Amino acid sequence: MKRHAWKVLMAVGLLAALAAPSMAANLALKANIPFSFAAGSVNLPAGEYTVEQHVVPGVLALRGADLRIVTLFTVSPKVSAEVKDTASLVFNKYGDQYFLSQIWISGRNSGYQLPRTRRERELIAAAPAHPVVLAAVPTR
């Protein structure tokens, strides 16, 4: 009985952490993305999106302006040799397909890298990526 209660408590805690917005988030960027794209394994339509740091380390949340689209995806730290002047989202473009690849924060030399999906790795084998950089605006 104690084991079952512990499992239920852990599940409730995890769901609360996933559902709650991060109160200590140091990342909140807004960008208008004029093309459909993939973020992790999720395909998303063009539109205005906000990227926020999630309460779970290594996870970012992507929210559509109308809040009907919310997706979580994993990231790893990325470091640049130079400090970025502007926040930006970097997409890899293959033909007419876009994949969110990196997120950079203004005033810092650090950002986030998304892992490549299986579909993106297949496209890389056929042709090199063409990076597309979109400016993002900090919301906090």
Q: What is the pLDDT of residue 62?
A: 93
What amino acid occupies position 80?
S
Domain ranges across the chain: 25-138
Q: What number is the average pLDDT over the span 87-106?
A: 95
Q: Read off the pLDDT of residues 48-57 as tens digits, 9 standing for 90 and up.
A: 999 998 888 8
Determine contact, residues 28/138, Cβ cutoff 8 Å.
Answer: yes
Residue 3: pLDDT band with limits 50, 70, 90:
low
Q: Report the alpha-carbon distance of residue 114 to residue 44 in Å, rounded.
A: 15
pLDDT at 5 over 90: no
Q: What is the pLDDT of residue 1?
A: 53
Residue 7: pLDDT band with limits 50, 70, 90:
very low
Q: What is the DSSP string of the chain?
A: -HHHHHHHHHHHHHHHHHHSPPTT---EEEEEE-S-EEETTEEE-SEEEEEEE-SSTTEEEEEETTSS-EEEEE-EEEE-SS--SS-EEEEEEETTEEEEEEEE-TT-SEEEEPPPPHHHHHHHHHS--EEEEEE-EE--
Q: Read off the pLDDT of residues 62-80 as tens digits, 9 standing for 90 and up.
A: 999 888 788 999 999 999 9
pTM for this predicted structure: 0.77
Q: What is the pLDDT of residue 20?
A: 40
Percentage, residues of the chain above pLDDT 70 = 81
> What's the Cα-to-Cα distance from 103 to each of 7, 31, 35, 46, rounded to whole Å?
35, 11, 17, 17
Q: What number is the average pLDDT over the span 6-11?
A: 42
pLDDT at 24 over 90: no
